[in-house]
Amino acid sequence: MEKREEINQEEARVSHWPWKDLVGFILCIALTAFSLTAVLYSSYQPTYVFMILTGLAFTQAMIQLVKLQPGQ
């Protein structure tokens, strides 16, 4: 009986969909696409574009750090 409960708990843990990872991945792809678009198609001064890219890179780093936090 105890062995069956351990197996059920293991199956529940394995079958859990990693939503946090998926959302983080999608946000990182969106930020990268936005950065590329800003560089290729903007008519702003390079200093302004660099500041925006720095902010987006920092945001992306924070998303990656949050993704690495252990589950509760």
Whether pTM > 0.75 for this model: the answer is: no
Dist CA 36 CA 31 (whole Å): 9
- Flag whether 15 is in a domain: no
Using alpha carbons, select from 72, 70, 71, 66 the residue that is nearest to residue 25: 66
Distance CA 6, CA 13 (A): 11
Instruction: Give 27: exposed, middle or buried? Use CB within 10 Å, 0-12, 13-18, 19+.
Output: middle
pLDDT digits (tens, 9 = 90+) for 7-56: 666 655 555 767 777 887 888 888 888 888 878 888 878 888 888 888 88
Residue 6 lies in a domain: no
Quick check: is 69 in a domain? yes
Domain range for 28: 21-72
Total of domains in the chain: 1
